[in-house]
Structure formats: structure tokens, C-alpha cells
Amino acid sequence: MKTKVHPEYHKVVFMDMNSGFTFLSGSTKSSKETIDWEDGNTYPLLKVEVTSDTHSFYTGRQKFADKGGRAERFMQKYNLKNDNE
């Protein structure tokens, strides 16, 4: 395998900008900003817009809009009777 081809993988702290939620993970991305973590070490800080703390899928606040399928919308739009019903 070639040397010095892959980026350096290291620990970083991700921060959700909406809630302030932080977690430690591994990444190849780095940052000039740092943060002191719970283990006493200093890690690069990566700020992100959405994490599992604020994403609607994980929080249970997801909205479902049930509009039916294409065929049903077409039939309804043109007031046609569906023989399967």
C-alpha cells in the first residue's frame, strides 16, 4: 500500500450549532478551533448544523404528509373513478 496517500484520521469534537450538543468522534477533517473535552484533552472543534440531537427523524418530530400515490392523485384531480376501489 502507498504511504502518505490517506488523510490523517484523528479524534474531533462535533458541536450541533442549534442545540449546543457535543460528541467526540473520529474524522479526517480538522479545525483551527479547539475545545477541552471531558477526558481533559483538547480536540479540534467542528461545528455542524444538524446532528441526531436536532434532526426530526431522531427526535420524533418528523412530519408525514400522506398525499397518496401518483395514480390516486391523477384520478382525484380529474374526478375519475378507480375500478379497484
CA-angle at 79, arms to 77 and 83, nearest 5°: 115
6 belongs to a structural domain: yes
The pLDDT, as a whole number, for residue 11 is 95
43 belongs to a structural domain: yes
Average pLDDT per run of 10 along the chain, which is 85 residues long? Answer: 86 90 92 94 91 68 62 77 60
73 belongs to a structural domain: no
Burial annotation 43-80 (CB, 10 A radius, 16+ → b, else e): bbbbeeeebeebeeeeeeeeeeeeeeeeeeeebeeeee
Q: Which amino acid is at 53?
A: D
- Please say whether the beta carbons of 9 and 26 come within 8 A: yes
Cα–Cα dist 73/40, whole Å: 58
Range of the domain at 50: 1-60
77 belongs to a structural domain: no
How many structural domains are present in the chain?
1
5 belongs to a structural domain: yes
The pLDDT, as a whole number, for residue 38 is 94
